[in-house]
Amino acid sequence: MKAVLFVGHGSRDEEGNEQVRQFVQTIRPQIDETFYVHTCFLEFGVPSVIDGIAHCVEQGAKDVIIIPIILLPAGHSKLHIPAAIDEAKQRYPHVSFTYGRPLGIHDATFTILQDRLKEAEVVLDEHTAIILLGRGGSDPDANSDLYKIARLFWERNKQAIVEPAFMGVTNPSLDEAVVRCVKLGAKKIVVLPYFLFTGVLIKRLEKKVSEFQSAYPHISFILGHYFGFHPSLQTIVLDRLQEAMSDSVQMNCDTCQYRIHVAEHHHHHHHHDH
């Protein structure tokens, strides 16, 4: 039997974890009905990745396909999930494991972002600034991907200013991006969260945008919706599953030099929120 194990990041806010489970249920009908489908989390949610794998094996899986529901490739997808898979290979030598890649840069991402702009009833012009807000992390590769996505998004919305920013860990911060947009002459600032589901940071962001509105009463602030249950998110995740099943994953963490180097020096500490 084949099993598909989806890996969510996990949040201190259980509502966010429940949204991941609900999302997997929405795509379940589009996955082969003979496959066993299960959801696990990297942190804050249960089960853990290794426990999720164990559950699949207990259900009789001989092939486990692991798909991270994670936006950008960083330490979690490069190190922590592969480490759990390595442990599982030792525990279950009779089981084969296939590891898919994170959602990454996918054309359907821009459909989601455009629709979130439309829902917010934003009319784009030279006085409108869009802040594409990522979580931020210590992996330069993932941080630079947000810059690439912001650039590609600007290519589709050239009449507006598009600025990347991060909620934490790295710069530019959201505060810095707002100051920059104001200096560039923005009269309307749209904050588009580059987040999959709700969580501690999304709820903190709602308060933050309200504070910006008070600090800059002459500027209109609009907070867009996170990705959530958008149909195009289903498309992306199912594409990553199809890739893994057809052996065309373009990321090999078993031979990744980044992983080999960092695994020797990296100790993961959970100091961030989600």
Arithmetic mean of pLDDT, 62-85: 86
Residue % of the chain over a pLDDT of 70: 89
CB 100 within 8 A of CB 244: yes
What sign results for the dihedral spanned by CA atoms 256, 257, 263, 269? Answer: negative
Confidence of residue 254 (pLDDT cuts 50, 70, 90): very low
Domains and CATH numbers, the chain: 2-104+230-265 (3.40.50.1400), 108-223 (3.40.50.1400)
Contact 156, 112 (CB under 8 A): no
Phi-psi region of 160 (alpha: psi -120 to 50; beta: other; left: phi over 0): beta
Give the pLDDT of residue 76.
60
CB-CB contact of 68 with 77 (8 Å): yes
Q: What one-character-per-residue DSSP string does 83-107 give? A: HHHHHHHHH-TTSEEEE-----S-H
Q: In what order do the strands lie in the sheet with 161-166?
A: 161-166, 128-134, 188-193, 220-223
Residue 8's pLDDT is 95
Mean pLDDT along residues 191-206 = 92
Least trusted range by pLDDT, from 82-86, 201-205, 253-257 = 253-257
Assign 144 to helix, strand or coil: helix
Above 80 in pLDDT, residue 60?
A: yes
43: number of CA atoms within 13 Å, CB side? Answer: 14
CA distance 237 to 241: 6
**pLDDT higher than 70, residue 250:** no
Give this prediction's pTM: 0.86
Report residue 273's pLDDT band, with 50, 70 and 90 as the boundaries: low
CA distance 222 to 210: 9
- Give the residue from 166, 107, 157 showing the smallest Cα distance to 131: 166
Rounded (10°) angle between helices 107-119 and 140-156: 60
Detail the DSSP E strand segments found in 11-75.
36-41, 63-69
pLDDT band at 224 (very low <50, low <70, confident <90, very high): very high
pLDDT for position 123? 86
Distance of alpha carbon 272 from the chain centroid = 15
